[in-house]
Amino acid sequence: MGDSPASAVERADVVVVGARCAGTATAAALARAGRRVIVLDSAHFPSDTLSTHLLWPAGVAELRRLGALDGVAELGAPRLTRAYAGGEGHGIGSAFPALDGIDYAMCVRRTGMDGVLVRTAAAAGAEIRERCRVTNVVWDGRRCVGVRYTNAAGAEAEIAARLVVGADGRRSTIARLVGAERPFAEVPSGRDCYFAYWRDSAPDRRHIAAQWRTGADLGTAFPCDDGLLLCLVQPPTGPSPRRPGAAEHRYTEAIERIPELGARLRGCERVGRVRSATGLASYFRRSSGPGWALPGDAGHFKDPVTAQGIRDALHYGRLLGEAVAPVLDDARRLDDAVAAWDRRRVRECREIYHWTNRLARGETMRPLEIELYRAATHDPELAEMVTGIFSRTRRPGELNSAARSARFAAGALWRGRHHPVPVVADVVREVRDSAAEWLTTHTALRSDTLRPAPTADPSRSR
């Protein structure tokens, strides 16, 4: 894990900027294919990062594919074998549908988990360099051919590489330097996010990942490692909490508005401060170009309300590494592979992107949502389908089929027959929202429109 001399240009097959979920997954896949990979990160591990860190079964399965699951499991987070969602007096409970033999979720604090991921990538053969900050990318014409960075000793250094991978998060330096910082699709969230840890006093509930909605507020309780409970609330967006104590105030008030969450926390003792994420927006950025790629939040981000970020970072980081490893020596084939990977992520994530954006609106539950909760409370198959959407074993389109939507509308109209106007308005809005999502999918999110950018003559690359 040393640093290159500042006086020489070092060479690698790939340089990865960012050593967390997306970066380590990419690096491990490349290193296992025999490629020389250098990973740069400004942090020193173990290191925390702002994250709500729930992994549905699909995310746990990715840890196993990476070879990190045993190490993560040793951190002590319990297996979450039941999911529960409550709202408007109804409760949806189900087991998790199995994916590749994994039928449980986990909530693991990032300090420990990211440390395991870094060690896993290093064991695979990637070279991890901590306390290194990228200052620029190196160009040969329109092709990205390396990075310049400041190493742990404060010296300037340069790495030449066939591919630069920006796995450096929402505020990605690489996205900015390659001109991809501005999203081509973006939806601001209607919710702010506040969370803190509590010493859990309910051992009989440490297998349940729970969520409640009351009014426009949403709250969760996820048991995690070290006997702690992650309690997160997402009230509607409000003024930025800049004054001292504002985040604490909003967090406490939201818990008080969600009686079931308050009951879950009874007897628990809070540990540490309240953390916040405000001003959020879900987005897609252009994530491929000649000599560069953006996995993880650097290229695509969804509001934390559906907890999809870690799984997607691991999954598409791994797929990127696997896609480019065989073609790194051919610039044109490399660019085609990276562009195909970019299109695949857009194609596979756009439906859950729309689903997430609906839940992130920060609104009270609407009549059709209430009807879904009512039906799923008494229908185990429907409850498991809802859980499967979060786990990525089922698609939102399966739940929102025409026949099922018609049944929900009929049920809501019958129950609201004395005051039908809100139900009719909700049905109209559902049609409008579905049409808008269809239009976005077939315009901004048409994956076949993400063509590779023009590539410089490979013979000119360094």
| pTM value > 0.85 | yes
Q: What is the pLDDT of residues 321-338, one digit of tens each?
A: 999 999 999 999 999 999
Taking only the tens place, the pLDDT of each residue in 217-262 is 999 999 999 999 999 999 999 876 567 788 999 999 999 999 999 9
Strands in 300-301's sheet, in edge-to-edge order, are 185-188, 281-284, 300-301
pLDDT at 1: 44
3-state secondary structure of 394: coil
pLDDT given for residue 455 in this prediction:
42
Amino acid (1-letter code) at residue 70: D
Q: DSSP characters for 97-153? A: PPBTTB--BEE--HHHHHHHHHHHHHHHTPEEE-S-EEEEEEEETTEEEEEEEE-TT
Instruction: Report which secondary-structure segment, H or E, holds 263.
Output: helix 259-265
Domains of the chain with CATH codes: 9-78+102-187+282-356 (3.50.50.60), 193-279 (3.30.9.100), 364-442 (no CATH)
Tokens of 65: 């594919």
HSE (side-chain half, CA atoms, 13 Å) at 379 = 13
Q: DSSP string spanning 29-57?
A: HHHHTT--EEEE-SS-SS---S---EE-H
Please give the pLDDT value at position 164. 98
Give 232's strand partners: 195, 220
Tell me, what's the pLDDT at 457?
A: 41
Alpha-carbon distance of 128 to 334, in angstroms, equals: 23
Q: What pLDDT sits at residue 220?
A: 97
Low-confidence stretches of the chain (pLDDT beneath 50):
1-6, 452-462
Task: Tell me how far CA of residue 40 lies from CA of 16, 47, 116, 409, in angstroms.
Answer: 6, 14, 16, 52
DSSP H helical ranges for 269-379: 309-324, 331-359, 367-377
Distances (CA, A) of 421 to 41, 360, 418: 55, 24, 9
**157, amino acid identity:** A
The Cα 308–Cα 3 span in angstroms is 34
CA distance 71 to 51: 19
Instruction: Name residue 425's amino acid.
Output: A
pLDDT at 258: 97
Residue 363 is predicted with a pLDDT of 95
Identify the CA nearest to 173 among candidates 197, 194, 153, 144. 144
Return phi, psi of residue 126, to 5°: -75, 145
Single out the residue of 202, 195, 198 nearest to residue 218, CA to CA: 195
Euclidean distance between CA atoms 35 and 128, whole angstroms: 14
